[in-house]
């Protein structure tokens, strides 16, 4: 449990992780296909919400972040052994697909479900 | 931007399927959006609205049964003048060269079974264009029992079996050829009819419901069996070394 581990991580204090608002989390973000330069062939939808993950990874990675064992060890290595080994990064954990209707160069129309197009949650790894 | 050299280089990497698709399917920026109007566009918009919400999220209860639906328009038509009460049009639907890499779920031809042109009232149906001595694999009945996105004048016909047997293999023809046959409705005076005012798009289009198998192919490459085979080869090397 994070609470118990933090007691033996040398020099650990909650202030080290910075303000909670700056911690690794999912940020909603919307972009239009016009902005991406794809509106000349995508019929629907008009907007796309890929979202993104941003923020600092805490020094002790709790369960809610779904970090793999490797990330937890790498964090400890950074903390206790070698600071040239970077801390884990805040990246997407789960994705959901998006359905797109587009017109092809030859005038055919395509409906397609593209996997892993929208970030749904984040992790530190 | 699509078409720039940097993206072309990225497409060489087999792990970038989205980039590959953008290069294959997207019209160039300088190219105008192909004009797609009328019934085909309406049909696909309704299919989209049934299958996804306004933000593009696929609906949980969607009944589409495939991850991809391609509407193919006929490439060219050869119209033959009226023979008795019949007039016939040949429709060619081109298939993409790599199409068979996808798993075919369903193939549907959508066509107008009623045509009203000037003084003509025609009843129409489609048939496969098959060389003599070959059997007809089309269903004898007309239309589909599935809930339809169509207005009254249009009909769907399931031709999955025909497409699967004749076209969906690496050696298959790359073109699906159909005959669009119309007959003047009974009681109307037989007049000399020409296919004026009916573009091929106004009469029929093909729908291919397919599943993308790229992911499963990639998974198969990473399957433990591959590793076992590798290990097997490796262990035989070790054995030889021991010997």
ipTM for the assembly = 0.80
Choose the closest CB to A108 out of B55, B67, B73.
B73
How far is the alpha carbon of B157 from chain A, nearest alpha carbon, in Å? Answer: 19
CA distance B117 to B124: 13
Condensed to tens digits (0 to 9), the pLDDT of residues B198-220 reads 665 578 999 999 997 765 444 44
Each residue's pLDDT tens digit, A15-56: 555 666 789 999 999 999 999 888 888 999 999 999 999 999
Q: Which of A44-58, A102-116, B126-140 has the lowest mean pLDDT?
A: B126-140
Most confident of A56-70, B27-41, B169-183, B194-208: A56-70
The CA distances from residue A82 to A58, A87, B78, B133, in Å, are 17, 11, 75, 78
CB contact under 8 A, A112 and B32: no
For B71, the closest chain A residue by CA position comes to A109
Least Cα separation, residue B111 to chain A (angstroms): 16
Contact in structure between B113 and B155 (CB atoms under 8 Å):
yes
Contact B44, B23 (CB under 8 A): no
Hey, is the C-beta of B177 within 8 angstroms of any chain A C-beta?
no
**Whole-angstrom Cα distance, residue A3 to residue A9?**
10
B15 has a pLDDT exceeding 90: no
Element counts in chain B: helices (H) and strands (E) = 6, 9
Residue-level pLDDT at B206: 95
A124 reaches B (C-beta below 8 A): no
Which residues of chain A does B28 touch, with a Cβ-Cβ cutoff of 8 Å?
105
Answer with the residue of higher pLDDT: A37 or B119.
A37
Contact between residue A93 and residue A123 where contact means Cβ atoms under 8 Å apart = yes
Which residues from chain B sit within 8 angstroms of residue A48, using beta carbons? 56
B33 interfacial to chain A (CB closer than 8 Å): yes
Burial per residue of B192-207, b for 16 or more beta-carbon CB atoms within 10 angstroms, e otherwise: ebebeebebbebbbbb
| Interchain proximity A99–B25, CB inside 8 Å | no
- Residue A10, pLDDT > 70, answer no
Q: What's the pLDDT score for residue B75?
A: 82
Residues of B in contact with A113 (CB under 8 A): 58, 67-68
d(CA A7, CA B160) in angstroms, rounded, equals: 66
Report how far residue B100's alpha carbon sits from residue B219's, in angstroms, rounded to the nearest whole number. 19
Average pLDDT over residues B86-93: 86
Residues in B closer than 8 angstroms to A51, CB to CB, are none
Dmax of chain A from CA atoms? 65
pLDDT band at B32 (very low <50, low <70, confident <90, very high): low
Checking if the pLDDT of A76 tops 50, the result is: yes
Nearest to residue A62, comparing CAs of A5, A119, A120, A121? Answer: A5
Residue B238: pLDDT band (50, 70, 90) is very low
In DSSP terms, which residues pair with A100 in a beta bridge? Answer: A112
Distance CA B117, CA B166 (A): 34
- What burial letters (b/e) apply to B72-104, b meaning 16+ CB within 10 Å? bbbeebeeeebeeeebbbbbbbbbbeebbebeb
| From A21-35, A46-60, B102-116, B161-175, the region with the lowest mean pLDDT | B161-175
Q: Which residue has the tokens 């790229």?
A: B214
What's the pLDDT at B171?
A: 75
């Amino acid at each position: 449990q994070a609470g118990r581990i933090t007691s033996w991580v040398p020099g650990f204090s909650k202030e080290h992780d910075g303000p909670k608002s700056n911690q690794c989390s999912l940020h909603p973000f919307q972009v239009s296909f016009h902005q991406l330069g794809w509106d000349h062939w995508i019929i629907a939808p008009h907007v796309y919400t890929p979202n993104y993950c941003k923020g600092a990874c805490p020094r002790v990675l709790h369960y809610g972040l779904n970090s793999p064992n490797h990330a937890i060890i790498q964090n400890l290595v950074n903390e206790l052994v070698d600071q040239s080994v970077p801390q884990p990064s805040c990246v997407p954990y789960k994705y959901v697909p998006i359905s797109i209707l587009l017109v092809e160069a030859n005038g055919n129309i395509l409906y397609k479900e593209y996997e892993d197009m929208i970030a749904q949650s984040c992790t530190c790894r | 931007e699509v078409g720039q050299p940097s993206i072309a280089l990225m497409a060489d990497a087999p792990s970038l399927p989205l980039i590959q698709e953008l290069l294959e399917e997207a019209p160039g920026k300088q190219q105008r959006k192909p004009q797609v109007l009328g019934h085909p566009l309406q049909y696909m918009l309704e299919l989209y609205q049934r299958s996804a919400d306004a933000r593009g999220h696929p609906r949980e209860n969607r009944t589409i049964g495939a991850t991809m639906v391609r509407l193919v328009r006929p490439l060219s038509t050869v119209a033959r003048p009226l023979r008795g009460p019949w007039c016939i049009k040949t429709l060619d639907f081109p298939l993409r060269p790599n199409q068979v890499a996808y798993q075919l779920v369903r193939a549907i031809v959508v066509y107008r079974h009623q045509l009203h042109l000037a003084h003509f009232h025609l009843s129409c149906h489609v048939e496969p264009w098959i060389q003599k001595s070959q059997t007809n694999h089309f269903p004898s009945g007309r239309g589909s029992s599935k809930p339809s996105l169509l207005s009254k004048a249009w009909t769907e016909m399931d031709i999955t079996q025909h497409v699967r047997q004749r076209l969906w293999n690496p050696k298959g023809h790359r073109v699906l050829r159909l005959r669009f046959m119309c007959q003047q409705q009974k009681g109307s005076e037989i007049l000399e009819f020409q296919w004026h005012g009916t573009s091929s798009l106004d009469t029929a289009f093909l729908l291919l419901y397919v599943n993308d198998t790229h992911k499963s192919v990639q998974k198969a490459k990473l399957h433990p069996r591959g590793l076992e085979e590798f290990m097997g080869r490796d262990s035989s090397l070790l054995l030889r070394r021991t010997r």
